[in-house]
Amino acid sequence: MSHSPKGTGSLVSTEGTRHTRISGVGGYRPERVVTNAEVCTWIDSTDEWIRERSGVVSRRFAAKDETVVDMALEAAGPALEMAGITADQLGAVVCATVTHGYRTPAAAPLIALRLGANGIPAFDVGAACAGYCYAISIASDMVRGGSADHVLVVGTDRLSEATNHHDRGSAFIFGDGAGAAVVSSSDVPGIGPTVWGSDGEKWDAIRQRLSWTEIQDRSERELAGEPQDWSDAGAEDARSASTLIMSGQSVFRWAVWSMAPVAQQAIDQAGITADDLDAFIPHQANMRIIDAMVKQLKLPADIPVARDIAETGNTSAASVPLATERMLREGEVPHGGLALQIGFGAGLAYAAQVIRLP
């Protein structure tokens, strides 16, 4: 027996604004400064090698009890203030992170609660170093589609916890921090089209050493008196098996060769040229990757380029908003100027867009 559909009327759809913009940004850097000299007490390396190969001079580590949610709140405050709104005006929170301590629930509902905006839609985005630029795109579409008027986007990561501090290939590169932005409606376009994508064939290139299931299985066997060998994962124990492993060289090559064309597409799709840019704010993965991208994009020599990695390290989802916040605060770029931003990393995932700075 066949059923005919009950509904005959058309559905009501939300209607948003035509344009969106970033109305405020904020950043938070934890107090503890970790120098290359300190890193070199954990791995066989030198300050000189780390500076030359990565550009990192120092990074910040969160305090033992400082979570990604704590850091997110510190970054959200100044972003809301710059946007000229209070938390009760937010329509949603989108949190980009890969280092929240719980598989579930997400960090975002706690951020909303502690901001005093409990009840609004709140969810996490797991796109690693591309997470912030992914979340800006999602938030912009939410505002354009009428699902929210103002969306808080936070990129917050505590990579010190996800790093094996004895791993020579990654111990020197990562740091902790949070950056936030408010996405709001606008009379004129303030967020250009996002050029984004992923490459699941390189899923392995940056990943947790072992899955949680594997870690649980081995830990159970260990508890049952069956000693486990973790060395196949480049780990010493269950804890270090949950840290990240990175095929540095292959990610480096991918970033250098594949990300400049993505950035160029973001410029083209925004309907501008490189000469129109007031800033280039790439993911802070490695100073040599930043230099290579500047060269390939043939950016005019006078365009300020974010080099926050020197003092902040690679903070994954926090890296682009933290670099943005620093450039604005230090007066390196003008409020209202155009910035090209691009995030890329584990997934592999990437996203780029031209935005008007708040």
Report the alpha-carbon distance of residue 275 to residue 281 in Å, rounded.
15
Residues 44-103 that bind ligand UT7 (CB under 6 A): 45, 49, 53-54
Q: Which 283-342 residues touch ligand UT7, going by CB under 6 A?
A: 285-286, 289, 314
Task: Please identify which residue in 153, 255, 290, 333 interacts with ligand UT7, judged by CB under 6 A.
Answer: 255
Report angle CA 342, 291, 60 to the nearest 5 degrees. 70
130 makes contact with ligand UT7 (CB under 6 A) = no
Binding-residue total with ligand UT7 (CB under 6 A): 21
Q: Output 184 or 286, the one with its CB closest to ligand UT7.
A: 286
Piece of the chain touching ligand UT7 by CB under 6 A; list 6-14, 181-189, 190-198, 248-256: 248-256
For ligand UT7, the closer CB: 160 or 286:
286
Q: How far is Cα 290 from Cα 309, in angstroms, rounded to an integer?
A: 10
Closest approach, Cβ 350 to ligand UT7, in A, equals 10
Sheet holding 338-345: strands in order across? Answer: 195-198, 349-356, 338-345, 279-282
Tell me which DSSP letter residue 292 carries. Answer: H
- Binding to ligand UT7 (CB under 6 A): which residues in 14-43? 43
Task: Check if the beta carbon of residue 96 is closer than 8 Å to that of residue 156.
Answer: yes
Catalytic residues: 129, 283, 314
CA dihedral 50, 54, 56, 62 (to 10 degrees): -100
DSSP, collapsed to helix, strand or coil, labels residue 297 as coil
Among 5-13, 16-24, 90-98, 249-257, the segment contacting ligand UT7 (CB under 6 A): 249-257
Q: Which helix (H) or strand (E) holds 300?
A: none
Please, what is the minimum distance in Å from the beta carbon of residue 45 to ligand UT7?
A: 3
- Report the nearest approach of ligand UT7 to the CB of residue 237 (Å): 21
Report if residue 343 touches ligand UT7, rule: CB under 6 A: no
- Asked whether position 147 contacts ligand UT7 by CB under 6 A, the answer is no
Q: Which helix (H) or strand (E) holds 150?
A: strand 150-158
**Distance of alpha carbon 29 from alpha carbon 179, whole angstroms:** 9
Nearer to ligand UT7, 73 or 173 (CB): 173
Binding-site string for ligand UT7 from residue 164 to residue 193, where x marks contact by CB under 6 A and - marks none: ----xx--xx--------------------
Beta partners for residue 195, in sequence order = 352
- Record the tokens describing residue 315, joined without a space: 């903070």
Let me know: does 265 contact 340? Beta carbons within 8 Å: no
State the minimum distance, in angstroms, from the CB of residue 81 to ligand UT7: 29
Cβ closest to ligand UT7, residue 19 vs residue 51:
51
Asked if 355 and 341 count as a contact pair (C-beta separation under 8 A), the reply is: yes
Structure tokens at 126: 């797991």
Q: Which is nearer to ligand UT7, 17 or 258 (CB)?
A: 258
DSSP 8-state assignment for residue 287: H
* Residue numbers at the binding site for ligand UT7 (CB under 6 A): 43, 45, 49, 53-54, 129, 168-169, 172-173, 206, 248-249, 251-252, 255, 285-286, 289, 314, 345
